[in-house]
Structure 1
Amino acid sequence: MSAASRISLLATFGLLAMTAVWGSTFVLIKGVVDRMPVADFLAVRFVVAAVVMFALFHRQVARLARRQLWRGVVLGVMYGLGQLLQTWGLSLISPSVSGFVTGMYVVFTPILATLLLRQRMPVVVWLAVGMATLGLALLSLNGLSVDTGVWLTLASALLYGLHIVALGHWSRADEAFGLSAVQMAVIALVCLLATAGHGGPVLPPDRSAWIAVLYMALVAGAGAMLMQTWAQAHLPATRAAIVMTTEPVFAAGFAVVFGSDVLTWRMLCGGGLVLAAMYLVELMPRRKTEPPAEAIHHEV
Structure 2
Amino acid sequence: MSGRLSRYKWTLTLQEGILIFITMIWGGTFMVVHHAMTMSGPFFFVGVRFATATLLLLLFSWRTLGGFTRRELLAGFWIGIAIGCGYGLQTWGMQTISGSQSAFITALYVPLVPLLQWVFLGKMPGLMAWCGVALAFIGLLLVAGPESGGLTLSRGEIATLLSTLAIAAEIILIGASAGKVDIRRVTIVQLGVASLFSFLMMQPNGESVPAMSTWLWGSALGLGLASALIQVTMNWAQRSVSPTRATVIYAGEPVWAGVVGRIAGERLPGTALLGGALIVLGVLVSEFKLKRRAKSQPAVEK
TM-score using structure 2 length: 0.86
SS in 1 for 2:289: helix
Structure 2 residue 255 is the aligned partner of structure 1 residue 258? no
Contact 2:142 2:151 in 1 (8 A): no
Identity rate, percent: 28
Q: Hey, what does 2:130 align to over in structure 1? A: 126
Count the aligned residue pairs.
279
RMSD: 2.1
Q: Residue 34 of structure 1: which of 38, 42, 47 is its match? A: 38
Q: C-alpha deviations, 1:102-140, integer Å up to 9, x for none?
A: 000001111112222222311222222121111111111
38-47 or 272-281, which deviates more: 38-47
Counterparts of 2:211 and 2:15, CA distance in 1:
34
Counterparts of 2:75 and 2:220, CA distance in 1:
28
Opposite residue 251 of structure 2, the aligned amino acid is T
Structure 2 residue 83 is the aligned partner of structure 1 residue 79? yes
Counterparts of 2:38 and 2:163, CA distance in 1:
20
- Counting only pairs closer than 5 Å after superposition, residues 90-101 of structure 1 correspond to structure 2 as 90-101=94-105
Structure 2 residue 172 is the aligned partner of structure 1 residue 165? yes
Opposite residue 67 of structure 2, the aligned amino acid is R
Contact 1:8 1:235 in 2 (8 A): no
Q: Hey, what does 2:185 align to over in structure 1? A: 178
245-254 or 200-209, which deviates more: 200-209
Q: Hey, what does 2:295 align to over in structure 1? A: none
89-98 or 200-209, which deviates more: 200-209
SS in 2 for 1:146: coil
Structure with the larger helix share? 1
Opposite residue 69 of structure 2, the aligned amino acid is A
Q: Residue 202 of structure 1: which of 198, 209, 227 is its match? A: 209
Structure 2 residue 275 is the aligned partner of structure 1 residue 270? yes
Aligned-pair distance for 1:25?
0.7
Counterparts of 2:111 and 2:155, CA distance in 1:
21
Aligned-pair distance for 1:173?
8.1
Q: C-alpha deviations, 1:55-98, integer Å up to 9, x for none?
A: 22234332331112111101101111111111001111111110
108-117 or 273-282, which deviates more: 108-117
| Cα distance change of structure 1 residues 198 and 147 upon mapping to structure 2, 3 Å threshold | closer
| Cα distance change of structure 1 residues 165 and 37 upon mapping to structure 2, 3 Å threshold | same
Contact 2:244 2:287 in 1 (8 A): yes
SS in 2 for 1:96: helix
Give the structure with higher Rg (CA). 2
Opposite residue 227 of structure 1, the aligned amino acid is T
Structure 2 residue 250 is the aligned partner of structure 1 residue 230? no
Q: Residue 92 of structure 2: which of 82, 88, 99 is its match? A: 88
Aligned-pair distance for 1:213?
1.4
| Cα distance change of structure 1 residues 133 and 197 upon mapping to structure 2, 3 Å threshold | closer
Contact 2:139 2:277 in 1 (8 A): yes
Counterparts of 2:82 and 2:156, CA distance in 1:
19
Q: C-alpha deviations, 1:154-187, integer Å up to 9, x for none?
A: 0000110111011012122871111111111101
Structure 2 residue 282 is the aligned partner of structure 1 residue 280? no
Gaps of 5+ in 1: 1-6, 289-300
Counterparts of 1:184 and 1:281, CA distance in 2:
28
Q: Hey, what does 1:240 align to over in structure 2? A: 246
273-282 or 140-149, which deviates more: 140-149
- Counting only pairs closer than 5 Å after superposition, residues 43-122 of structure 1 correspond to structure 2 as 43-122=47-126
Contact 1:42 1:191 in 2 (8 A): yes
TM-score using structure 1 length: 0.87
Opposite residue 276 of structure 2, the aligned amino acid is G
